[in-house]
Amino acid sequence: RMWQLGQSPPNGVAQQIGAHDAPIKGVRYLPNSNLVVSGGWDRKLKFWDTRSPNPAGVLDMPERIYAMDVRNTLLVVATAGRHLIMYDVSGAQPREHQRKESPLKYQSRCVTCFPDASGYAVGSIEGRVGIQYIQKTPNRDSFAFKCHRQDSGVYSVNAIAFQQRFGTFATVGADGVVNFWDKENRQRLKAFAAINRTISCAEFNSPGNLFAYASSYDWSKGSSVYAPGTANEIYIHYTPDEEIKPKPKRR
């Protein structure tokens, strides 16, 4: 559904712009084509012109879509079966650029493009993140690392958010922890104290000085541990440059 911000009812009523035959896992806007793209468990990637009830295009995926993201002309889709599919969306029709297997051994949970669209980060249910570059670049190799683990506990990475100015990023997980990372120097910049709830999503604002994250049950442990009375909460963290800018690599 689409809302026109700043309008009051009846013009402010949500407008349905598309539909899938199974749960929808992602919705993104494509600025180059002025289309909206959505992906779902029906194994369909659909492109929508908000003025038309019918999709402008439909692509079949090899499996259910678990996560997707867009940056500039790069669209990345992560599906069940550990498939990762990259598209060039610079033109009127999406063009498949690359298809590969995830560098992580277990199910993909989230995927986020780099601010410069040179690659993406993918997180899994096994508490790992893979840093992937689209093109091979000198002094820049793809790699993966462990995170969101406590003693013998392994927790899913639920969201990855990049800070636009510095290209550093945050991960949040089912362990209730926020981490800030520097991918260029391959080190952690900051670890927050854990909260007693799973963190389901997170994002930086455009200037990068505010970081928002939300706690709510992520179903990572199934329905048996779901507590209906637990409040869903949103946290806003002021982020000075000293916390999030890259630091020289330790020698």
Which of 169, 46, 67, 180 shows the shortest CA–CA distance to 116? Answer: 169
* Per-residue pLDDT tens over the stretch 232-248: 999 999 999 999 999 88
CB-side exposure of 111: number of CA atoms within 13 Å? 33
As a residue count, the chain comes to 251
CB-side exposure of 248: number of CA atoms within 13 Å? 2
The predicted model scores a pTM of 0.92
Domains of the chain in sequence order: 102-244 (2.130.10.10)
* Run of H or E including 214: strand 210-215
- Cα R_g (the chain), whole angstroms: 19
* Per-residue pLDDT tens over the stretch 79-119: 999 999 999 999 888 999 999 999 999 999 999 999 999 99
Which residue positions in the chain have pLDDT lower than 70? 8-12, 138-139, 250-251
| Chain-centroid distance, C-alpha 156 | 13
Q: Are 108 and 128 in contact (CB under 8 A)?
A: no
Which amino acid, one-letter code, is at 160?
I
Phi, psi of 225, deg, nearest 5 = -105, 5
Predicted pLDDT at 125:
95
State yes or no: cis peptide before 10, omega within 30 of 0: yes
The strand order across the sheet containing 83-88 reads 65-71, 74-79, 83-88, 95-101
